[in-house]
Chains A and B, each alone.
Chain A
Amino acid sequence: MFVQLSRIASPDTQVFINANRLIGVYNFNAESNRENDELRSLNSLKIKDKISSLSPENTISIGWYLGEESLDPFFDISNGEILSVESFLIEFKDLAGTHKFNKSYISSYGVEASIGGLINGEASYINDDYFQTNDKLSGNENINDSFHPFLIQKISFTQQNIENNTWIQCSIQSFSFDLQIERKRVNRIGNRKSRFYYPIIPIKGSLSISILKTEMFSVKDFVLLPKGDLNIKLESCLGKYREYSLKNCVLDDISESLDIDGNNTIELKYSFEIYERILGPLS
């Protein structure tokens, strides 16, 4: 008997990448952008028709909590690296059916954390091969995930190749980094869909750190990182950890601000480029 759905909520939805169900997903967004060509002819002011010569380009973004059990939607599934042309099948399955985004290429990746919250990851993908199926969740799939999140209380920053880790002294209130992987679509005559999307090099990353000022920090004296490698280690309550290694970070911007009854904060902005793997395995 057909039962009309009244709505679809988050418990009725699951996200898969290459048939692996992602754990800890809190946000999913898909957007399709159609580029239409207008057909016009001489002797007429009207637009005769609009056609799209290429398959529409879709952007998919996924947000997830970082923890022991959470599958990094890129690093834990990829055989290659961010510089590769590896593609993924992303499925968004709910009680109504499944959205399938075939041959999706990662276009951005980021992690952010701040006081009072959890550590969040966000990844975006780009593709032009989308279709739907009637493959539905039955509503009886039991998910008994246990989850041990990485804790903001256990984040540590270390600077490579120096004796003393000055980051320990800093009252870091929040940090975020993200990689923007601009990709170029490669088509060929006879195909509406792309052959692949290849990354445009260099791939740039940006890192922002917000610190409460408790002493005079000096960039000149290398108390704070002016240029170098920074490791960000995330740890769970059970002691398991993952580590991001951001190489060749260069300090682009420092700003300091204070207002009445507020605390003096320092914002640091770094940029870096991707040449190698940035995320270590879960240990």
Chain B
Amino acid sequence: MPRTRVISQSKAVYASPTGISGASAFQPTQLRRVDSFSFDIDYAGSRQDIREFGRLARISTVRASEITPTVSLGYYLTDGENEKKLGLSINGLNGNPNSVTTLTGVSQFISGILSEDIVEKEKNLYVVTVAEGKDAFSPNFTGERSQHTTIAFGNATPTTYTANFAVGEIPRADVELECGNIVFLSGSSGINPAVNRQTAAYIGGTFVLPTPSTGSSSVDVLKHGDVRLMFSNNGLGVGGVKFNDIHAQSASVEVPLSRESIERLGSQLPYAKPLEFPINATMSVNAIVDEYNSGSLQTILTGCAGLVGTDIALVVKNRCDQDNELIFLMKNAQLDNQNFSLDLEGNETVDLTFSAQIGGRDTTDAGVFCSGAFGTGNHTGTF
């Protein structure tokens, strides 16, 4: 019986590496706590009309560049599980998270992507839709495959990762990806959607989606009350707020990962899509102002103020406020912007924007680092 509509109840999202050829069908792993998923296919953007003298309408069209579908994926943050499945590093920190000055970077948050590791930099994504009115998380999932439909996205590379923490909201992440191919399938199994960039041919292999579930994480979601924001420097010598005294209302970490398409004459697809450098990660904080630091803007021009950076840690504990579930550390962040505002009825607020430039995968004194409890079972105070 055809569906009348599709709602989130019927959906589950998975990820896998692109190289899944083998004797048996590969089982992708499920992404959990997903609350939004959208994708866009722009056919017109890659087309070029051919027009000639003597005719108003085009005489032909040709595909002048690749078609790059985009995917937007949003989920609630937990212990770094989804980050790891998307190719991001969640084992990048050492030290005591109770003090930002003792935290040290081991490997960048995007180390696998920086090294162009084929397993980490590119993934396949799968979205299954089960029969109308049924939960996707159903024990009858495998028996009802004939009623499923799946959209498989091949060669998906993240272009932006953003983690958002705000008062009154559940901490969440939003990831934007670009894909090389989309396959629409009946059922919940099929061909590997990934293609070879040199030949534009499928690289082979099949997949079968396992039964989805809520998972076994010790946390359902994180809470804003369990988030601590810490700065290694209370100020940068230019005046403004005392960083460790502000009452943060929201904080977000954004890592842009745009890629350049390198094409060549004679090749159907771009034969390479390397990262575009420099990569400037940003952290934005909105806070209620408490105390001010002394300082002067003039010291930037004549002194050494403004050259000093700060390390910023976002440490999130689990709901019992005991174990550290997820930590983001931005090292050697520079203050880009301070914006103060006050009106008649509100509190004075400040918007702070910091940026840190991400170096090579082994650079440990600048960039963004992450540590998550997923997979390690490490719920102690020290990493």
Residues of chain A touching chain B, judged by Cβ–Cβ distance below 8 Å, are 10-15, 21-26, 28, 64-65, 67, 113, 115-118, 141, 143, 145-149, 151-157, 168, 170-175, 212, 261, 263
**Which of B54, B62, B65, B271 sits near A13, CB closer than 8 Å?**
B54
Interface centre among B52, B56, B276 (most CB of A within 10 A): B52
B273 interface hit (Cβ, 8 Å) = no
B169: min CB distance to chain A, Å: 36
Stretch of B131-139, B211-219, B262-270 that contacts chain A: B262-270
Q: Which of B248-268 contact A (CB under 8 A)?
A: 260, 262-268
**Which of B52, B64, B271 sits near A26, CB closer than 8 Å?**
B52
The 5 A-B residue pairs with the shortest CB-CB distance, nearest first, are A11-B56, A147-B60, A171-B264, A14-B54, A147-B59
Offer 7 A-B interface pairs, CB within 8 angstroms, sorted by A: A10-B51, A24-B59, A67-B50, A143-B54, A168-B266, A171-B262, A173-B264
B293 interface hit (Cβ, 8 Å) = no
Considering only CB atoms, which chain B residue lies closest to A23 in the complex? B52
User: Is there contact, CB below 8 Å, between B50 and A155?
Assistant: no
Given contacts A155-B266, A171-B262, contact A261 B53 (CB under 8 A): no
Residues of A within 8 A of B260 (CB): 263
User: Is there contact, CB below 8 Å, between A149 and B62?
Assistant: yes
**Which of A26, A141, A148, A212 sits near B51, CB closer than 8 Å?**
A26
User: Is there contact, CB below 8 Å, between A118 and B53?
Assistant: no
User: In the complex, A117 Cα to B52 Cα: how many Å?
Assistant: 15
User: Is there contact, CB below 8 Å, between A171 and B271?
Assistant: yes
Chain B positions 52 through 86: 1 when the CB is less than 8 Å from some CB of chain A, otherwise 0: 11111001101011000000000000000000000
Given contacts A116-B65, A155-B266, A175-B265, contact A261 B277 (CB under 8 A): yes
User: Is there contact, CB below 8 Å, between B266 and A172?
Assistant: yes
Considering only CB atoms, which chain B residue lies closest to A64 in the complex? B52
Residues of A within 8 A of B52 (CB): 10, 23-26, 64-65, 143, 145, 147
A23: min CB distance to chain B, Å: 6
Q: Which of B28-69 contact A (CB under 8 A)?
A: 48, 50-56, 59-60, 62, 64-65
User: Is there contact, CB below 8 Å, between B53 and A15?
Assistant: yes
Given contacts A21-B54, A28-B53, contact A156 B60 (CB under 8 A): no
Q: Which of B133-175 contact A (CB under 8 A)?
A: none
User: In the complex, A15 Cα to B277 Cα: how many Å?
Assistant: 48
User: Is there contact, CB below 8 Å, between B53 and A212?
Assistant: no
User: Is there contact, CB below 8 Å, between B266 and A156?
Assistant: yes
User: Is there contact, CB below 8 Å, between A118 and B62?
Assistant: yes
Other A-B pairs, 16, CB within 8 Å; known A149-B50, A149-B60: A10-B54, A22-B53, A65-B50, A65-B52, A115-B263, A143-B54, A145-B55, A146-B60, A149-B62, A152-B266, A170-B264, A171-B262, A172-B265, A173-B263, A212-B262, A261-B277
Residues of A within 8 A of B56 (CB): 11
Q: Which secondary structure characterizes the binding site on chain A? A: mixed
Interface centre among B53, B65, B271, B276 (most CB of A within 10 A): B53
User: Is there contact, CB below 8 Å, between B265 and A155?
Assistant: yes
Interface centre among B50, B55, B260, B276 (most CB of A within 10 A): B55
**Which of A13, A113, A147, A157 sits near B53, CB closer than 8 Å?**
A13
User: In the complex, A175 Cα to B55 Cα: how many Å?
Assistant: 29
In the complex, number of A-B residue pairs with CB atoms less than 8 Å apart: 97
Residues of B within 8 A of A14 (CB): 53-54
**Which of B54, B64, B264 sits near A212, CB closer than 8 Å?**
B264
Chain B positions 276 through 311: 1 when the CB is less than 8 Å from some CB of chain A, otherwise 0: 111000000000000000000000000000000000
Considering only CB atoms, which chain B residue lies closest to A9 in the complex? B56
**Which of A141, A148, A172, A173 sits near B54, CB closer than 8 Å?**
A141
Residues of A within 8 A of B267 (CB): 153
User: Is there contact, CB below 8 Å, between B276 and A11?
Assistant: no
Residues of B within 8 A of A118 (CB): 48, 50, 62, 64
Considering only CB atoms, which chain B residue lies closest to A62 in the complex? B53
B60: min CB distance to chain A, Å: 4
A154: min CB distance to chain B, Å: 7
Interface centre among A12, A67, A116, A153 (most CB of B within 10 A): A153
Residues of B within 8 A of A22 (CB): 53
Considering only CB atoms, which chain B residue lies closest to A115 in the complex? B263
Interface centre among A64, A147, A148 (most CB of B within 10 A): A147
A259: min CB distance to chain B, Å: 13
Considering only CB atoms, which chain A residue lies closest to B58 in the complex? A147
Residues of B within 8 A of A175 (CB): 265
B215: min CB distance to chain A, Å: 41
Given contacts A113-B265, A172-B264, contact A151 B51 (CB under 8 A): no
Given contacts A65-B50, A118-B48, A261-B277, contact A11 B55 (CB under 8 A): yes
B238: min CB distance to chain A, Å: 28
User: Is there contact, CB below 8 Å, between B50 and A154?
Assistant: no
User: Is there contact, CB below 8 Å, between B54 and A11?
Assistant: yes
Residues of A within 8 A of B54 (CB): 10-15, 21, 25, 141, 143
User: Is there contact, CB below 8 Å, between A146 and B59?
Assistant: yes
Chain B positions 70 through 113: 1 when the CB is less than 8 Å from some CB of chain A, otherwise 0: 00000000000000000000000000000000000000000000
Considering only CB atoms, which chain A residue lies closest to B271 in the complex? A171
User: In the complex, A149 Cα to B62 Cα: how many Å?
Assistant: 8
B93: min CB distance to chain A, Å: 29
B44: min CB distance to chain A, Å: 15
User: In the complex, A12 Cα to B54 Cα: how many Å?
Assistant: 5
User: Is there contact, CB below 8 Å, between A174 and B265?
Assistant: yes
**Which of A10, A148, A263 sits near B60, CB closer than 8 Å?**
A148
A237: min CB distance to chain B, Å: 8
User: In the complex, A116 Cα to B51 Cα: how many Å?
Assistant: 16
A63: min CB distance to chain B, Å: 10
**Which of A15, A145, A157 sits near B59, CB closer than 8 Å?**
A145
Interface centre among A10, A113, A157, A170 (most CB of B within 10 A): A10
User: In the complex, A12 Cα to B64 Cα: how many Å?
Assistant: 27
